[in-house]
Amino acid sequence: MAAAAPADSAVSSETPATFSWPASTRIRYRLLGQYRGDVHGSAEVEWLREGERYQVHLDVSAALLFNRRMSSEGRVTEAGLVPQRYEEVTTNRLQVFSEPRRSLMSFDATQVQLADGRQVPTLAEVQDSASQFIQFVYWLSTRPELRRAGARIDVALALPRRVGRWVYEVGPLELVDTPAGPVECWPLRPAAGAVPGELQAEVWLAPRLQMLPVRLRIRQSAEVYFDLFIDRLPEQALR
């Protein structure tokens, strides 16, 4: 990423006349959670764009447990992101001599190749586990009808083992503590579509920070979850 500066925390919550994708951005988080006891760690989301190409990387490090990197790459279009490749790499720190576990998916106009090699029909505007967070930025920035409590977002989501539809519900504005002080955010939570034991994600998007995600919660069950809180102002490449 080029020379970076903190993102402007005074950006208006109103949608600009013409949506402009954020410049290349890095957001660092502190991680708290539960997995056989309290868990601490760190995480980072990196958004990279060059012309009509993008990459999104989500790195999660839970101290003494695991590292996971989720990476999406593809095209930027007038309808948002179009993933073409997704890779997930997990390193289990509890098993010192184990090899990292890799899941790879690919996308074309009609099919998604899942991590086990199966090819299944794609769905319109399908996203993957990493690209969905940036696609939420696009949807809430360009569709004012979604910026209200009770609004629902129907998401086509490709996970390593299946492709399906999830419904996210927008909650009332909430204050989230950030290095710039409390910031109002739109929370998005899964309302339907989850399979028991499958990872679920919640996201808090801050209108004053270009609708970027300042909090993420990744949950597998009531006893296993990771909460990511922004640790410093987002760093952005100079335009």
* Of 85, 82, 59, 61, residue with least CA distance to 70: 59
Tell me, rounded to whole angstroms, the distance of Cα 167 from its chain centroid.
15
The first and second tokens of residue 219, run together, are 């949950």
Structural tokens at position 1: 């990423």
Residue 98: per-residue pLDDT:
72
For 207, phi then psi, to 5°, come to: -55, -35
Which residues, listed in sequence order, are joined to residue 42 by a DSSP beta bridge?
30, 61
Cβ(103)–Cβ(116) under 8 Å? Answer: no
Query: pLDDT truncated to tens, each residue of the chain (239 aa)?
Result: 543 444 543 333 344 447 889 899 999 999 998 887 888 999 999 999 999 999 999 999 987 788 999 999 999 999 999 999 999 998 886 666 678 889 999 999 999 999 999 999 999 999 999 999 999 999 999 999 999 999 999 999 999 999 999 999 999 999 998 888 899 999 999 886 555 556 788 999 999 999 999 999 988 777 788 899 999 999 998 76
CB of 227 closer than 8 Å to CB of 217: yes
Closest-CA residue to 1 (of 234, 235, 237, 233): 237
Structure tokens at 191: 């309302």
Tell me, what's the pLDDT at 97? Answer: 64
- CA dist list (Å): 144 to 139, 140, 149, 170: 9, 7, 12, 12
Distance CA 214, CA 185 (A): 8
pTM (two decimals): 0.86
Q: Quick check: 40 and 60 in contact, CB under 8 A?
A: no
